[in-house]
Amino acid sequence: MQLLHGARRAPAVLADDEGRRASAQARRGSPLALAEIYDANHTRVRQLARRLLGDDAAAEDLVQEIFEQLPRALKRFRGASSLETFLFAMVVNRTRAHLRGAIRRRRALERLTREPTAPAASLDDDLHTRRRAAEIIAALDQLPLAQRVAFVLCEVQEMSAGEVSKLTGVPEATVRTRVFHARRRLRDLMQPGGGS
Amino acid sequence: MRKRSTDRVALGVAALRQLTDHDGPLAAVTRERVLAGGQPRGRQRVLAVGIGLAIAAVASGAFAAAMLVRAPREPSPVGSMVAVRSARSPAPLAAIASPPSPDVSAEEAPTAAASDDELARYGAAHRAHFAGKDPAGALRLWSAYLARYPRGRFVPEATYNRAVALVRLGRLDQAIAALRPIAGGRFGDYRRQEAALLMSALSGRRSESTASH
């Protein structure tokens, strides 16, 4: 089933020079520049946050936090990477703080509703898709954070090991090793009777 | 067995990608909050859990009945959810409705001025809707905003809030008509579920009202 209902606003990714201009203005407190950056990047930032956290509400909290703190954080932005990479790094760096609450809430919700999937899915979402997503999220919850981040970035977000290395500051070989171990652990966890 | 479990990982990855490819229903709320300068984030969770429970209730067929039981004094459960959300909020968008910051360069001035007018109109409608508790005034201001900026940045929010104002005024047919494009996905997932639920409840009330006459 096609779930691509379309983003509310088409993500118009800012070109690097536009990104630098908007960043400079947002850093000085321009709300219009912040709105421009938000509109151009929120869809991809949210997508990554949802994939890392497996929880829509926690992902929205994270997205809000990132864009609220962006004007101050941009003081560290030198333009060496794209603005999107800078935002992705903010997501990854803040994942740990949000993940514990997300896991706790997911387990509580699972007990409450026996429906461990994201609470805000569309009414017509395919049940199998939701179950499969819930299954891998539950398995990801059992991985160390570093493996989880590497796996989601490489396998779900489809970034290369080199890109992930730049984003996380971890050597490329280490990224590959983490993905390898994550995949192996997920296979074990997701076997019938594997504990996921 | 190994092959099969590998497939489960791949299927899980594909499912996770698919489910997170769209923005989700809370995205527009977050945008408002970010641009308003930040508001408590915990309410996102309340909203998410509320939506989740609403979906569960709809599945069991209880939600429409619950809405109708509450209906006489509070015509819009979704509207009341919005009202609860905003009653505790500082006037959203007040920060960006203020004059442009001095760092805006001269060449962007025309764009900035146009945006300021749009934001000011949106802000005025928002205040009338949430803080002023004046549905007739809010309806007029939302309609004016949509007429002036039919392709504006806040059209989804304005369209939904205008529909809620119509509900509050008891203009159910017009409210249903206003909700239809939202429920039909014109704005992606924004308020899609709430619009569909509200339409369903309003249709029920309208039928009940017709039957009683």
What's chain B's average pLDDT?
Answer: 65
- Sign of the C-alpha dihedral computed for residues B193, B198, B199 and B201 taken in this order: positive
Quote the tokens at residue B63: 């939600």
> What is the model's pTM?
0.53
**Gap from B196 CA to chain A (nearest CA, Å):** 10
Q: How far apart are CA B59 and CA B57, in angstroms?
A: 5
pLDDT class of A175 with cuts at 50, 70, 90: very high
Helix axes B63-70, B42-59, angle to 10 degrees: 110
Which residue of A lies nearest to B45 if distances are taken between CA atoms?
A: A57
pLDDT at B152: 81
How many Cβ atoms sit within 10 Å of the Cβ of residue B57? 16
**Gap from A169 CA to chain B (nearest CA, Å):** 24
Average of per-residue pLDDT across A50-77: 89
Q: A54 in the Ramachandran plot: left (φ > 0), alpha (ψ -120 to 50) or beta?
A: left
Is the Cβ–Cβ distance between B182 and B160 less than 8 Å? Answer: yes
pLDDT at A185: 94
* Boundaries of every domain in chain B: 25-100+107-212
Residue type, A128: H
Q: Is B147 at the interface with chain A, CB within 8 A?
A: no
The minimal CB distance from B189 to the residues A29, A51, A122 is found for A122
pLDDT class of B185 with cuts at 50, 70, 90: confident
The answer on pLDDT for A7 being more than 60 is: no
Inter-chain CB proximity A54 and B16 less than 8 Å: yes
Q: How far apart are CA A109 and CA B131, in angstroms?
A: 33
Q: How far apart are CA A79 and CA A86, in angstroms?
A: 9
Interface confidence, given as ipTM, is 0.80
What's chain A's average pLDDT?
Answer: 81
How many Cβ atoms sit within 10 Å of the Cβ of residue B138? 26
Q: Quick: pLDDT tens for B56-85.
A: 444 444 333 333 223 322 222 233 323 323
Q: Please, what is the end-to-end C-alpha distance for chain B in angstroms?
A: 66
pLDDT class of A44 with cuts at 50, 70, 90: very high
pLDDT at A8: 39
Place of tokens 């794209």: A82
Is the Cβ–Cβ distance between A28 and A75 less than 8 Å? Answer: no
Q: Specify the range with the lowest mean pLDDT, choosing from A78-87, A163-172, B110-119, B151-160.
A: B110-119
The more confident residue out of B115 and A31 is A31
Inter-chain CB proximity A64 and B41 less than 8 Å: yes
Is the Cβ–Cβ distance between A169 and A194 less than 8 Å? Answer: no
Q: Specify the range with the lowest mean pLDDT, choosing from A3-12, A49-58, A121-130.
A: A3-12
pLDDT at B105: 31
Inter-chain CB proximity B44 and A60 less than 8 Å: yes
Q: Is B25 at the interface with chain A, CB within 8 A?
A: yes
Report the half-sphere exposure of A172 (CA within 13 A, side-chain side): 6
pLDDT at B78: 30
The more confident residue out of B9 and B202 is B9
Q: Is B8 at the interface with chain A, CB within 8 A?
A: yes
Exposure letters A51-84 (e unless 16+ CB within 10 A, then b): bbbbbbbbbbbbbbbbbbebbebbeebeeeebbb
Quote the tokens at residue A104: 């706790």
Among A187, A188, A189, the residue to mutate for chain B (most B Cβ within 10 A): A187
* Boundaries of every domain in chain A: 16-121, 142-196
The minimal CB distance from A47 to the residues B12, B14, B21 is found for B21
Q: Which helix (H) or strand (E) covers residue A73, if one does?
A: helix A56-73
Among A68, A130, A157, A184, the residue to mutate for chain B (most B Cβ within 10 A): A68
Among A98, A103, A113, A122, the residue to mutate for chain B (most B Cβ within 10 A): A122
Q: Specify the range with the lowest mean pLDDT, choosing from A12-21, A114-123, B193-202.
A: A114-123
CA angle A64, A5, A33 (to 5 degrees): 35
Instruction: Name the most confidently modeled range: A138-147, B46-55, B85-94, B147-156.
Output: A138-147
Average of per-residue pLDDT across B188-193: 75
Q: How far apart are CA A78 and CA B193, in angstroms?
A: 42
pLDDT class of A171 with cuts at 50, 70, 90: very high
Is the Cβ–Cβ distance between B157 and B130 less than 8 Å? Answer: no
Q: Is B143 at the interface with chain A, CB within 8 A?
A: no
The answer on pLDDT for B202 being more than 90 is: no
CATH number of A142-196: 1.10.10
Q: How far apart are CA B178 and CA B157, in angstroms?
A: 12
Q: How far apart are CA B122 and CA B125, in angstroms?
A: 5
The answer on pLDDT for A33 being more than 70 is: yes
**CATH code 3.30.530.20 for A16-121:** no
